[in-house]
């Protein structure tokens, strides 16, 4: 695995390419590598309480909800745009 600077640069670049509202998008293997290489690093788990309860908690992580369950469910009413995907509904006519 790369060194800390290379991992963080890749995460920053990935976030920019995906137009994410936060500074970096780490892959699980990269997060694990950072935790191993930087013992003072903290993993911030930003999932909802429901996800922590039903999926599980990451040992040693700091849990802070990014969105509440209500915000998450209302956000799901409008699916996010996927790069390269045309969200316009397509009509087909059966013959």
Residue 14 contacts residue 24 (beta carbons within 8 Å)? yes
pLDDT at 48 over 50: yes
Q: Are residues 11 and 24 in the same domain?
A: yes
Euclidean distance between CA atoms 28 and 65, whole angstroms: 19
Within a domain: 70: yes
Euclidean distance between CA atoms 73 and 21, whole angstroms: 19
Q: Are residues 14 and 34 in the same domain?
A: yes
Q: What is the pLDDT of residues 56-84, one digit of tens each?
A: 998 889 999 877 655 555 554 454 545 55
How confident is the model over 38-67, as a mean pLDDT? 90
Residue 7 contacts residue 16 (beta carbons within 8 Å)? no
Half-sphere exposure of 61 (CA within 13 A, CB side): 15
Q: What's the pLDDT band for 51 if we cut at 50, 70, 90?
A: very high
- Residue length, the chain? 95
Regarding pTM above 0.85, the answer is: no
How many domains are there within the chain?
2
């Amino acid at each position: 695995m790369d060194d800390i600077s290379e991992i963080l640069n890749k995460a920053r670049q990935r976030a920019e390419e995906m137009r994410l509202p936060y500074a970096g998008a780490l892959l699980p293997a990269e997060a694990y590598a950072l935790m191993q290489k930087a013992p003072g690093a903290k993993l911030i788990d930003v999932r909802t309480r429901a996800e922590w309860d039903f999926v599980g908690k990451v040992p040693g992580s700091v849990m802070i909800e990014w969105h509440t369950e209500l915000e998450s469910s209302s956000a799901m009413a409008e699916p996010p745009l996927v790069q390269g995907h045309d969200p316009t509904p397509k009509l087909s006519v059966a013959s």
